[in-house]
Amino acid sequence: MNQSVHSDGLPEGRRQQAMFAVAMSVLLSVLDYAVVNVALPRIAASIGCTDSSAIWVINAYQLVTLVALLPVAALGDRLGHAKLCLWGIGLFLLASVLCALSRTLPELAAARGLQGLGAACILGVNAALLRRIYPARLLGRGIALNGLVIGLGVALGPTVAACVLAVTSWPWLFLINLPMGGLGIYFALKALPETPRISAPFDYVSTVLLALAVGPLIIGGDGFAHRESVALDLTLIGGGLLCLGVLVVRQMEMTDPLLPVDLLRRPAFRVSFLTGFVAFVGSNFFMIPMPFALMNVLHKGPVATGLLITPWPVAIMVVAPVVGRLTDRFPAAILSSIGLAMTGMGFFLLWTMGPDPSDFAIAWRVFVAGAGFGLFQPPNNKAMLITAPVSRTGGASGMISVARLMGQTVGGMLVALTLGLVAQMPTQTCLMLASIVTFGAAGISVSRNFVKGGRVVVG
């Protein structure tokens, strides 16, 4: 990590080692999230808490990750993206040990929150590192490979959880992170490039305002979606919106804002961010209710349900090598739009299936949707990176993860609201909305062709 960055990416041998470090760190954060989701019932029974309370084992991780993404991206611009990635891996491993040692829900939720902070350090700078690792002509392949790693983590999560729980107890779900993280640290120290730093002071006031905006908005929105305490939830949402308004006003005059309003002023960046956000909202209208539809409506068993959802991440992995090359040749206005149209069509075909479809009929529709999503992500992420100035790479990297996590969070809230309000065939309604929202994201992506001032910025 003490070597300087090549003027246009790293030499090939070192590039492969640096990408391996990034891949291990990203896989660490994605795989752990997927593994814990599957193991949640076993964890709840072991620590003696209710199923509803155990959700905080997941929520603590996601909430801290989302709140911390932009601050750690800003820190990466000041301290170095490689250093933040390294700190993130180390913090994640420490938190993994604390998770394994936890015996109560508060202990485990606190340790998971610390894991979320480590994940934010990794995810907030990984795209910025890709821009330094790969030459501009190969950047799309690096982003596609990163997407392949994420898809691999999602696909392996249920299998890893099942294998571990079949032979030992749930704390080992966290301890298996140690060898993977050790490899990540070794190659990070050996190969990750030093990146330019800015000297501007860190904005602590805006960091606090961001936490006071995002935290209440997520907690209040989730509570409102589940209709728990409407008055309290609306108060939280109102307070979050007020803090967000104050934050935006504060950021407007800053040259290096924590909340990247300067990047969102760029039409090309703004369209790419909105495309990503809406696309992940649409994907959650599929990902969350689909298991319920398979088990409760089509009466599939747990194993069959898992296998029928697996074509989604498998399709992302299958198309990744081809998408990487296409991303370096064609713009996001073409590739991302075609990909989202494919995903929307896959959701539409799932929604309009007959009452007793075969497993193959379900699987190939899920595969089409997943392949489209795999085609959409790399070019859209590349568009966000290259339309930002090099000096704002950290902010752009953070916003890529914000679009994904915020879209998933809002999508989850809307799914909960739909399942609670729709009495007849709610899962079918969710699949219909998945198709509509994803086609909407495709429309936003197509609008790049009409955006003015969307030139690529290289310095």
Mean of pLDDT values over 70-97: 91
Mean of pLDDT values over 406-431: 85
The pLDDT score that the predictor gives to residue 387 is: 86
- Which runs of consecutive H residues, i.e. helices, occur in 168-301? 172-175, 177-191, 204-225, 230-251, 261-264, 267-287, 289-292
Average pLDDT across the chain, whole number = 85
**Bridge partner list, 7:** 9
Question: Quick one: pLDDT band at residue 457, thresholds 50, 70, 90?
Answer: very low
Residues 293, 434: contact at Cβ < 8 Å? Answer: no
Mean of pLDDT values over 168-179: 90
% of the chain at pLDDT higher than 90: 31
pLDDT in tens, 350-369: 999 888 889 899 999 999 99
Residues 112, 99: contact at Cβ < 8 Å? Answer: yes
Question: Quick one: pLDDT band at residue 112, thresholds 50, 70, 90?
Answer: very high
State yes or no: pLDDT of 446 exceeds 90: yes
Pick the more confident residue, 435 or 26.
Answer: 435
The pLDDT score that the predictor gives to residue 451 is: 65
The pLDDT score that the predictor gives to residue 120 is: 92
Q: Determine the Cα–Cα distance for residues 252 and 260; give it in Å rounded to an integer.
A: 9
Mean of pLDDT values over 299-305: 76
Residue with tokens 């997407």: 147
Mean of pLDDT values over 167-173: 87
pLDDT in tens, 36-72: 876 777 788 888 877 667 778 888 888 899 889 889 8
Question: Please, which residues have CB within 8 angstroms of residue 376's CB and are 6 or more apart in sequence?
Answer: 275, 279, 335, 336, 339, 340, 343, 445
Mean of pLDDT values over 437-448: 94
Residues 92, 115: contact at Cβ < 8 Å? Answer: yes
% of the chain at pLDDT higher than 70: 95
Question: Quick one: pLDDT band at residue 455, thresholds 50, 70, 90?
Answer: very low
Question: Quick one: pLDDT band at residue 421, thresholds 50, 70, 90?
Answer: confident
The pLDDT score that the predictor gives to residue 302 is: 67
Pick the more confident residue, 193 or 443.
Answer: 443
State yes or no: pLDDT of 2 exceeds 70: no
pLDDT in tens, 373-408: 999 988 998 888 888 887 787 788 888 888 988 888
Mean of pLDDT values over 276-300: 86
Q: What is the pTM of this model?
A: 0.81
pLDDT in tens, 139-152: 888 888 887 887 77
Question: Quick one: pLDDT band at residue 341, thresholds 50, 70, 90?
Answer: very high
State yes or no: pLDDT of 225 exceeds 90: no
DSSP code per residue over 354-421: -SS--HHHHHHHHHHHHHHHHHHHHHHHHHHHHTS-GGGHHHHHHHHHHHHHHHHHHHHHHHHHHHHH
Question: Quick one: pLDDT band at residue 452, thresholds 50, 70, 90?
Answer: low
Range among 8-12, 94-98, 141-145, 380-384 rated most confident: 94-98
Helix (H, G, I), strand (E, B) or coil at 116: helix
The pLDDT score that the predictor gives to residue 52 is: 62
The pLDDT score that the predictor gives to residue 79 is: 87
Q: Determine the Cα–Cα distance for residues 212 and 216; give it in Å rounded to an integer.
A: 6
State yes or no: pLDDT of 201 exceeds 60: yes
The pLDDT score that the predictor gives to residue 453 is: 46
Mean of pLDDT values over 288-293: 80
Pick the more confident residue, 211 or 3.
Answer: 211
